[in-house]
Structure 1
Amino acid sequence: MALSFLRSSVIARNVKRQLYQNKRNAGYVVLIPEIGEDAENTLLSDNGLPEFSDLSIEKCIATISKQSLEYEQGVRQIEHASEDCKNAFKEVFTPLEKLDTQLELTWGMAKTLYLGNSSLMPTKSYIQIHERAHKARSTKFNSEPIFQAAITEKNRLKNLTDEEQRLLDKYILEGKLNGLDVKGIKRERLNNILSGLQKERQMFRDKVNIANKVFTSTITDPSVMREFPDSLLQSMTLGSDPTKGPWKVTLQPHIYEPFMQYCSDREYRWNTWQAHVQRCSNYVNKEIETGSNLENIRGLRKEQAAILGYETYGDMSMETKMAGSVENVNNVLDSLLESARSMQDAEIELLQRYAQERGFDVKLEHWDIPYWQRKQKWSLYGFDEEKIREYFPLPRVITSLFNLCSKLFNIQIVERTGPHTWHKDVKFYDVYDESSQAPIANFYLDPYARQDEKIRIYDDAGWHIAIRNKCTSTATTPLSALIFNFQAPTADKPSLMTFNEVGILFQRFGHSLRHLLTKANYSEVAGLSNVEWDAAEVCGQVMTHWLYDPETIRSVSSHVETGEPIPEDIVKNLRNIRGHMSGYNLCKELYLSRLDLELHTKKDFWRDIVRDMWPKYHALPFDKYDSHPLSFTKIFSEEWGSAYYCRLWSRMIAADIYSAFEEARKADQDILEVGKRYKDTFLAVGGSCHPSEVFRRFRGRDPSPHALLQNLGLPKKAMIEE
């Protein structure tokens, strides 16, 4: 996972001091402790599972340092052996698999502990571990002898399996993108570019983090907060009583997003919105403006791509994507926009009417949409996330989710007591296939929010961590952790979930199934490893579609006090609600996806690109002070440059996959046959076959955006009701 959220407030303060005093880039020095007996791998129990109850920062750092050194030494030995090897799979790639096993496990344990209990694994310590492990693992993809061994083996062998082909292709592509076939002055320049990019991206991230904290607004009037849910009041309160205030507004995502939806005071909304879209611009604070960093990143990425033989950075990025080319992506985005844009105009007009009928007598602006969108959703569908919690007690939802997976994929998920965990709330499960006597995989489930112990970000409320991959040569089975921030139970009530949270649980668990049920032999291409970026979220998205199946939603729900199933009108509304302002929502996503690609394929100044694109995607006019690209961390400081479209692409593929289940149901065919085919393709194959081929094996054709549009209610021509 990218490190966008890995900076604590302490680190942010340190960075701020650096920015204001000496303009130096923030960085981290990894200190490797002396290696002695304490550095032995004491992190595992006798049963081979992590010893979380006895895990310490010191043990993690000592172990990862020892394993990293051993890894780097092992790569050098394999490099030497590769010079005269007769069978690269036996003499190079299988030994590399064995090297990976222990390092990946320790790295995964540290990440799990960081996300599951950051008080036991603070941010700074995890970054130290992450960067040391990442540096070690990258040595095999920066190795010229291993790169050449992969090329030689691919040319030598004619009857490679899909998995073997993908393994060799991965090493060859990684080597190419790392510049292993670039020599002389160009290679030296490439290294300088990569170093410069790292510094610029770090500076961009740190400035945005500071900007998120610099803006604050205090609300003392309780009437402004009357519509806010209790959980949001709790997060914003500065006093001891969340109902009395005062309350603090910040630009942190888990505050900003819901604040804009629930704040009834237009002036507060405007103030917060303009601070949000002007972050890191010259309009606010020149000390933390990111415009220069943004253009430097674009320039360096363009030069990087050129040295590696690509016309643009966007073209280079497509090497690791299912879509294959920028042109293919743009064609799909344009086809979706054709349906979504006219619908957006109709939706804004209807929302304006709705607001006017309730006394809002001015034209809707950007800062008004989230608030009135939520209000309209409630009026149309009686939909309020907080009010339907009582129908989704977590124990019922989890049981139903496991039963659905057992039915569709012929597996059994059984809780096991005994394994050590990082908290008493964490449960451990074994996964059995229909033919297995022993578990084929295992996972931890840590469902509840814990104040000051877990990372909180609004748009990513849960994580799946692949702690250990499947690997035949080392006889290891998949192990993962699912970590969420759901409402904790009380003495008299279980944890109650919003429908959105149920979707998050289904999405993350569907994602984990690709890791847990893989049949691949090499860990480097097993499960989620080596899956093209724009296909990585497909299996999670497929799982969320089941929540719009009436039978499934009824099985998942049960009133916490009466046990009654969720009312039919709510079931119907939950299905219809996906289409609420779907044109507006989709256009926002299409815009950001295309903006990312334009910024990485064109030379124009960023603001000129924005001004040119804006009216094609938005019904509301562009605000001349809006500087949103300057805080677009996903593409400039994380790994999503020329890849922001990936989540939308995964949604399109997932909708098409799920439509196969719907077609079978309508034709009175056995959906379990479709479930088996899905398990045998997407879940079993993982990264050992190109996703385009996997899709064709499952669906018998290439993917289409039609199913996604249909789910969102967008195929029909937009019409405003009279």
Structure 2
Amino acid sequence: MALLLGRRLLNNKTLLKTQRRHGYIVLVPEIGEDLPDKNPLVQEDGLPQFNKVTIENCMAAIGRQTLDFENDVKNIEKTLEDGPEKADFFKDIIDPLEKMGTSLDMTWGLSKTLYLGNSSLMPTKSYLAIHDRAKKARATKYNSPLIYRAAQSNVKKVEVGSEEERVVRKFALEGKLNGMNLDGAYRAQLDLNLNKMLIERQKFKVKIDAMTKKFNHRVSDYDFYKELPKSLTDAMPGGALTLNPHVVNGFMEYCPEREWRWNVWQALVSRGSGYGDKEFETSTHMEEIRYLRRDQAKILGFKNYAEISMETKMAGSVNNVMDTFEALLKQAKVAQDRELEEMHAFALNRGFEGSRIELWDFQYWRRKQCRSLFEYDEEKLKEYFPMPKVLDGLFDLCENLFNITIKQRQNVPTWHKDVKYYDVFETHSSAPVAGFYFDPYARSDEKMLGVQTNGWMVGIQNHSRIAETKPLTALVFNFEAPTTEVPSLLSMKDLQVLFHKFGQALQHLLSRTTYSEVSGLSNVEWDAVDVSGHFLSSWLYNKDTLSRISSHYMSEDKLPGHTQDSLIKVRQLGAGTELCKELYLSALDLEIHSSKDFWLDIVKRLWPQYRSFPLLKHDSHATSFTQIFYEEWAAAYYSHTWSKMIAADVYSAFHEVEGQEQAIADVGKRFRDTFLASGGGCHPNQVFRNFRGRDPSPKALLAALGLKDKTNSIKEIE
């Protein structure tokens, strides 16, 4: 998952990110008594003065601002001591918090931008100290019993469906999930539970990291490298093969030796299993984490941890998720069986000797099919997508869809010469309404390489009418840098990352909420956060868009029509198998956090329902499922597929009026006025209904993936 600053605190992360701090605290020193008057972090025009920012003044600023924020929260609490139920929730609490948090958010956002964009200016250790300190300070407003009581008493006083209701309910639910409604004994028990959970999660992560690093194979066969793309050879210096995702995924696609693929796959799925390395087994930690999460749910008054997660999700309940995904599975499972049968026949005609396609064969033979059946060549395709042309086309698409203008502003201080700054204007406005930084190219000595993504969107400043702030964001990528002979050329995967992150940025930049608390992606339910990103990525399979963003870097020819058709077919090839995999992992996650059954029994029960591959004895994939046991996706992994489903349904509204210029403009305005403008100020179910006029359906996703939908109506999403 890509990283977002300003993302809703109220989600499955809440229980760890907004709790009173557990474990140690990194104290950030205050440096310089004259900081408030001479702080170089912000210019007169409100933009960060990146060319003068140092670690020292970032740490000094965050030290001062966090202390000020915590003191201001205490002052608010003093005004509530005589009766929080009597308070004017917005005048006495929210308005001051909006103004107080502006400087802190800016410093936090620019520190994160530097961390991702230039690690020499903001090393990991320094950023983590700033991040931990800022997170702790910002959590104080959700850990106040008095503010919680004030929110509770105001829930019924605000207009139903209004932005104000969303703000009040956010504080009320945050407080509840943080145990603000518990008496001292139960709150202490909750604190102890969370401390133990942090320890177990860390132990789990340490063991998986150790097993990942322990595998180190060096490939010395020169012929092996002939087919590898440059991005993969660069990730394997000296032929070093690792289990890092950006390496192993490419290896499984390109390695022609089946035995090598099997060895790598076996090493990957046996991490944490204890086979051969008992000291690195993670099953004990998995079960302890599950027990602690069940105990946490019981303390807070829920049946199980999955029920806690659904409190902050668009889906609303596990039943709604499973009912909807059942409609997807019905078509995907049939398609999976057909795809594997066709792939096996294809492979047999090309020398494959196996009796069936196995898990370690699928990626390799899928790539072979793409090349043979559709003449799909990733390296040749890149030649049609030089960065300057792609960016012009992307901006043009967004300007036409959403009635905005994007212009580069010169002479804006940045953290590197490659970074550009852009203003966003309403079509008829003279002053910009938002702005963003764009840092496109990899710099191995300065930028971190993402494990799951090659790009990030960082919300530096939210829109707030109370604090009178305009949206500001940074887009940081690791695309291949240009040379003197060749411009930066983007692969299809690069294009998907660019469009996805820009879609998220648009929701931040075009938010028009009154309060920062619900601006942009803040307060958006976790399973809806990626909708705008996936929506914009869908345009990559639109022929007009492909023509708009393509121009061969030498001949300037547009992407040929038959190649455009091939891109759609490539997207659909193996789509049933991939969807079944995601549906299985989603079901596994939800069942692990709903049931008390041993994890292996759950795996054995669910696997044949979703997967057409045999479950082999040493396949212990659940023991390294870091997304749900260490990261923040517990009982929320389904969000990946859910947001794609919602985005496909959204995009289908444009597809239905394809070729009708005015109709597309009307739908674009409606999307902007709902998904982009509302931010977290309206529940995503209502946002979707306002845009589409009905509840979501899985049919559009099935159609986009080429999986014929024969389902009848599904249960409405409440």
TM-score range (shorter-chain normalised) is over 0.9
Per the alignment, residue 369 of structure 1 pairs with: 362
Distance 2:121 2:32 in 1: 23
Distance 2:404 2:136 in 1: 37
Among candidates 292, 298, 308, match of residue 306 of structure 1:
298
Shift of 1:666: 6.6
Among candidates 326, 329, 336, match of residue 337 of structure 1:
329
Tell whether 2:201 aligns with 1:201: yes
> Alpha carbons of 1:490 and 1:2: their partners in 2 closer, same or farther (altered >3 Å)?
closer
Which amino acid in 1 is paired with 2:631?
Answer: E
Among candidates 29, 33, 37, match of residue 29 of structure 2:
33
Shift of 1:210: 2.2
**Alpha-carbon displacement from aligned partner over 1:499-523 (angstroms, at most 9, x marks no partner):** 2211211111011100000110100
> Alpha carbons of 1:369 and 1:265: their partners in 2 closer, same or farther (altered >3 Å)?
same
Tell me if structure 1 keeps the 8 A contact 2:30–2:63: no
Distance 1:682 1:440 in 2: 17
Tell me if structure 1 keeps the 8 A contact 2:699–2:709: no
> Alpha carbons of 1:328 and 1:666: their partners in 2 closer, same or farther (altered >3 Å)?
farther
Distance 1:2 1:450 in 2: 19
**Alpha-carbon displacement from aligned partner over 1:11-38 (angstroms, at most 9, x marks no partner):** xxxxxxxxxxxxxxx9865133245326
Tell me if structure 2 keeps the 8 A contact 1:2–1:639: no
Local SS of the residue matching 1:414: strand
Per the alignment, residue 410 of structure 2 pairs with: 417
Distance 2:435 2:446 in 1: 24
Tell whether 2:460 aligns with 1:464: no
**Alpha-carbon displacement from aligned partner over 1:474-515 (angstroms, at most 9, x marks no partner):** 111000001111110001221001122112111110111000
Tell me if structure 2 keeps the 8 A contact 1:341–1:587: yes
Distance 1:270 1:110 in 2: 42
Tell me whether 85-94 or 131-140 shows the greater mean CA deviation: 85-94
Among candidates 252, 255, 278, match of residue 263 of structure 1:
255
Shift of 1:465: 0.5
Per the alignment, residue 555 of structure 2 pairs with: 562
Per the alignment, residue 14 of structure 1 pairs with: none
Distance 2:231 2:258 in 1: 22
Per the alignment, residue 500 of structure 1 pairs with: 493
- Following superposition of structure 1 onto structure 2, how do residues 461-540 of structure 1 map, counting pairs within 5 Å? 461-540=454-533
Distance 1:37 1:475 in 2: 27
Tell me if structure 1 keeps the 8 A contact 2:358–2:613: yes
Among candidates 26, 44, 55, match of residue 46 of structure 1:
44
Distance 2:2 2:653 in 1: 33
Tell me if structure 2 keeps the 8 A contact 1:253–1:457: no
Shift of 1:333: 1.3
Tell me if structure 2 keeps the 8 A contact 1:38–1:59: no
Distance 1:423 1:402 in 2: 22
Shift of 1:452: 3.2
Tell me if structure 2 keeps the 8 A contact 1:279–1:630: yes
Tell me if structure 2 keeps the 8 A contact 1:600–1:641: yes
Which amino acid in 1 is paired with 2:28?
Answer: I
Shift of 1:611: 1.1
Distance 1:695 1:2 in 2: 23
**Alpha-carbon displacement from aligned partner over 1:362-382 (angstroms, at most 9, x marks no partner):** 132211111111111111111
Per the alignment, residue 99 of structure 1 pairs with: 100
Per the alignment, residue 286 of structure 1 pairs with: 278
> Alpha carbons of 1:555 and 1:666: their partners in 2 closer, same or farther (altered >3 Å)?
closer
> Alpha carbons of 1:3 and 1:278: their partners in 2 closer, same or farther (altered >3 Å)?
farther
> Alpha carbons of 1:39 and 1:298: their partners in 2 closer, same or farther (altered >3 Å)?
farther
Per the alignment, residue 319 of structure 1 pairs with: 311
Shift of 1:436: 2.5
> Alpha carbons of 1:716 and 1:29: their partners in 2 closer, same or farther (altered >3 Å)?
closer
Distance 1:27 1:79 in 2: 25
- Following superposition of structure 1 onto structure 2, how do residues 170-249 of structure 1 map, counting pairs within 5 Å? 170-238=170-238, 247-249=239-241
Shift of 1:231: 1.9
**Alpha-carbon displacement from aligned partner over 1:373-426 (angstroms, at most 9, x marks no partner):** 111111111112222110000100000000111111110000001111111101
Tell me whether 512-521 or 111-120 shows the greater mean CA deviation: 111-120
Per the alignment, residue 393 of structure 1 pairs with: 386
- Following superposition of structure 1 onto structure 2, how do residues 77-156 of structure 1 map, counting pairs within 5 Å? 77-84=75-82, 86-155=87-156
Distance 2:665 2:296 in 1: 48
Tell me if structure 1 keeps the 8 A contact 2:31–2:57: no
Distance 2:391 2:660 in 1: 30
Distance 1:96 1:491 in 2: 50
Per the alignment, residue 267 of structure 2 pairs with: 275
Tell me if structure 1 keeps the 8 A contact 2:408–2:421: yes
Tell me if structure 1 keeps the 8 A contact 2:30–2:64: no
Tell me whether 178-187 or 594-603 shows the greater mean CA deviation: 178-187
Distance 1:217 1:649 in 2: 37
> Alpha carbons of 1:125 and 1:352: their partners in 2 closer, same or farther (altered >3 Å)?
same
Tell whether 2:716 aligns with 1:715: no
Distance 1:450 1:594 in 2: 39
Distance 1:273 1:70 in 2: 52
Distance 1:131 1:86 in 2: 31
Tell me if structure 1 keeps the 8 A contact 2:159–2:165: no
Among candidates 636, 648, 651, match of residue 655 of structure 1:
648
Tell me if structure 2 keeps the 8 A contact 1:416–1:429: yes
Among candidates 58, 61, 70, match of residue 59 of structure 2:
61
Distance 2:511 2:64 in 1: 30
Shift of 1:158: 4.9
Which amino acid in 1 is paired with 2:371?
Answer: W
Among candidates 575, 578, 588, match of residue 571 of structure 2:
578
Distance 2:455 2:3 in 1: 15
Tell whether 2:692 aligns with 1:699: yes
Tell me if structure 2 keeps the 8 A contact 1:208–1:279: yes
Distance 2:394 2:613 in 1: 41
Per the alignment, residue 612 of structure 1 pairs with: 605
Tell whether 2:442 aligns with 1:446: no
Tell me if structure 2 keeps the 8 A contact 1:333–1:594: no
> Alpha carbons of 1:230 and 1:35: their partners in 2 closer, same or farther (altered >3 Å)?
closer
Per the alignment, residue 353 of structure 1 pairs with: 345
Tell whether 2:646 aligns with 1:645: no
Distance 2:152 2:361 in 1: 57
Tell me if structure 2 keeps the 8 A contact 1:510–1:541: yes
Tell me if structure 1 keeps the 8 A contact 2:30–2:59: no
Per the alignment, residue 241 of structure 1 pairs with: none
Give aligned-pair identity as a percent. 51
Distance 2:305 2:161 in 1: 31
Shift of 1:437: 2.0
Tell me whether 202-211 or 376-385 shows the greater mean CA deviation: 202-211
Shift of 1:209: 2.1
Which amino acid in 2 is paired with 1:535?
Answer: A
Which amino acid in 1 is paired with 2:259?
Answer: E
Distance 1:524 1:550 in 2: 38
Local SS of the residue matching 2:522: coil
Among candidates 276, 289, 297, match of residue 289 of structure 2:
297
Distance 1:2 1:675 in 2: 25
Which amino acid in 2 is paired with 1:108?
Answer: G
Please give the TM-score of this superposition, normalised by the length of structure 1.
0.93
Which amino acid in 1 is paired with 2:280?
Answer: I
Per the alignment, residue 716 of structure 2 pairs with: none
Shift of 1:152: 2.0
Local SS of the residue matching 2:540: helix
> Alpha carbons of 1:254 and 1:656: their partners in 2 closer, same or farther (altered >3 Å)?
same
> What 5-or-longer segments of structure 1 have no aligned partner?
5-25, 239-246
Local SS of the residue matching 1:464: strand
Local SS of the residue matching 1:447: strand
Local SS of the residue matching 2:227: coil
Please give the TM-score of this superposition, normalised by the length of structure 2.
0.93
Local SS of the residue matching 2:263: helix
Tell me if structure 2 keeps the 8 A contact 1:38–1:62: no
**Alpha-carbon displacement from aligned partner over 1:603-640 (angstroms, at most 9, x marks no partner):** 01111111111111111101111111121111111111
Which amino acid in 1 is paired with 2:170?
Answer: K
Distance 1:197 1:505 in 2: 36
What is the RMSD computed on CA atoms of the aligned residues? 1.8
Tell me whether 377-386 or 421-430 shows the greater mean CA deviation: 377-386
